[in-house]
Chain A
Amino acid sequence: MSELGVLQAVRLKGRVSRDDLAATLGGDFVDVVDQLVGSGLLLDGPTLRLSPEGRRRLEGLLADERSHVDTAAVLAAYGEFRSVNAEFKALVTDWQLKDGQPNTHEDAGYDAAVLARLDDVHRRVTPTIAAVATQLPRLSRYSVKLQTALDNIHAGQTMWLARPLIDSYHTVWFELHEELILAAGLTRETDDA
Chain B
Amino acid sequence: MSTRPVILLDGDASSPPDVLGHKGHGIDMMRRNGLPVPPAFCITTEVGVRYRAEPEATINAIWDDVLAGMRTLEAATSRTFGRGPHPLLVSVRSGAAVSMPGMMDTLLDLGFSDDVEKALAAEGSAEFARDSRRRFAEPYQRIVTRPAPDDPYQQLGAAIESVFTSWDSPRAVAYRAHHGLDDSDGTAVVVQAMVFGNINANSGAGVVFSRNPMTGANEEFGEWLPGGQGDDVVSGTVDVEPIAALRSGQPDVYDQLISAASSLERLSADVQEVEFTIQDGALWLLQTRAAKRSAQAAVRLALQLLDEGLIDEAETLRRIAPTHVEALLQPSLQPETRMAAQLLATGLPAGPGVASGRAYTEVDAAIDAADRGEDVILVRNHTSPDDIHGMLVARGIVTETGGATSHAAVVSRELGRAAVVGCGGGVAESLAGKVVTVDGNHGEVREGSLQLSAWSEDNTPELRELADIARRVSPLRAHARGDYPRLDRHTEAEVRSAMASGHSDVVSASPLLAMLAAIRLSGVS
Tell me if A11 is interfacial: C-beta within 8 Å of chain B.
yes
Q: Is the CB of B178 within 8 A of A193?
A: no
Number of interface residues of B (CB under 8 A): 31
Kindly specify which of B155-163, B311-319, B406-414 makes contact with the partner chain: B406-414
Q: Is the CB of B413 within 8 A of A164?
A: no
Tell me if B65 is interfacial: C-beta within 8 Å of chain A.
no
Most buried by A among B178, B381, B410, B411: B410
Q: Is the CB of A171 within 8 A of B385?
A: yes
| Given A99-B178, A163-B414, A164-B415, residue A193 in contact with residue B385 (CB < 8 A) | no
Within 8 A of B (CB), among A19-69: none
- Interface on chain B toward A: helix, strand, loop, or mixed SS? helix
With the chains together, A193 CA to B382 CA distance in Å? 6
Choose among A11, A86, A189 the residue that contacts B386 (Cβ–Cβ < 8 A): A11
| Given A12-B385, A174-B407, residue A192 in contact with residue B402 (CB < 8 A) | yes
Tell me if A145 is interfacial: C-beta within 8 Å of chain B.
no
Nearest-Cβ distance from residue A119 to partner chain B, whole angstroms: 19
Tell me if A144 is interfacial: C-beta within 8 Å of chain B.
no
Q: Is the CB of B389 within 8 A of A96?
A: no
Write out the residue numbers on chain A whose beta carbons fall within 8 Å of the beta carbon of B406. Answer: 89, 192-193
Tell me if A148 is interfacial: C-beta within 8 Å of chain B.
no
Closest to A102 in B: B352
Tell me if B405 is interfacial: C-beta within 8 Å of chain A.
yes
Closest to A89 in B: B405
With the chains together, A3 CA to B449 CA distance in Å? 46
Write out the residue numbers on chain A whose beta carbons fall within 8 Å of the beta carbon of B387. Answer: 14
Choose among A11, A15, A99, A163 the residue that contacts B389 (Cβ–Cβ < 8 A): A15
Nearest-Cβ distance from residue A116 to partner chain B, whole angstroms: 16
Write out the residue numbers on chain A whose beta carbons fall within 8 Å of the beta carbon of B343. Answer: none
Tell me if B401 is interfacial: C-beta within 8 Å of chain A.
yes
Tell me if B363 is interfacial: C-beta within 8 Å of chain A.
yes
| Given A93-B410, A102-B352, A193-B403, residue A188 in contact with residue B388 (CB < 8 A) | no
With the chains together, A102 CA to B409 CA distance in Å? 13
Closest to A165 in B: B388
Tell me if B174 is interfacial: C-beta within 8 Å of chain A.
yes
With the chains together, A101 CA to B381 CA distance in Å? 26
Tell me if A178 is interfacial: C-beta within 8 Å of chain B.
yes
Q: Is the CB of A14 within 8 A of B388?
A: yes
Tell me if B361 is interfacial: C-beta within 8 Å of chain A.
no
With the chains together, A12 CA to B388 CA distance in Å? 10
Write out the residue numbers on chain B whose beta carbons fall within 8 Å of the beta carbon of A178. Answer: 384-385
Closest to B399 in A: A193
Tell me if A121 is interfacial: C-beta within 8 Å of chain B.
no
Q: Is the CB of B174 within 8 A of A99?
A: yes
Choose among B352, B382, B408, B411 the residue that contacts A189 (Cβ–Cβ < 8 A): B382
Tell me if B383 is interfacial: C-beta within 8 Å of chain A.
yes
With the chains together, A101 CA to B359 CA distance in Å? 26
Closest to A86 in B: B405
Nearest-Cβ distance from residue A89 to partner chain B, whole angstroms: 4
Write out the residue numbers on chain B whose beta carbons fall within 8 Å of the beta carbon of A12. Answer: 385-386
Q: Is the CB of B363 within 8 A of A189?
A: no
Closest to A11 in B: B386
Tell me if B469 is interfacial: C-beta within 8 Å of chain A.
no
Within 8 A of B (CB), among A154-180: 162-165, 170-171, 174-175, 177-178
Write out the residue numbers on chain A whose beta carbons fall within 8 Å of the beta carbon of B414. Answer: 96, 162-164, 170
Tell me if A13 is interfacial: C-beta within 8 Å of chain B.
yes
Q: Is the CB of A96 within 8 A of B174?
A: no
Closest to A189 in B: B381
With A86-B405, A178-B385, A193-B406 known, 7 other A-B pairs at CB within 8 A are: A14-B387, A14-B388, A89-B405, A89-B406, A163-B414, A188-B384, A189-B382
A residues lining the B interface (CB < 8 Å): 11-15, 86, 89-90, 92-93, 96-97, 99, 101-102, 162-165, 170-171, 174-175, 177-178, 188-189, 192-193
The 3 closest A-B pairs by CB, nearest first: A193-B402, A14-B386, A89-B405
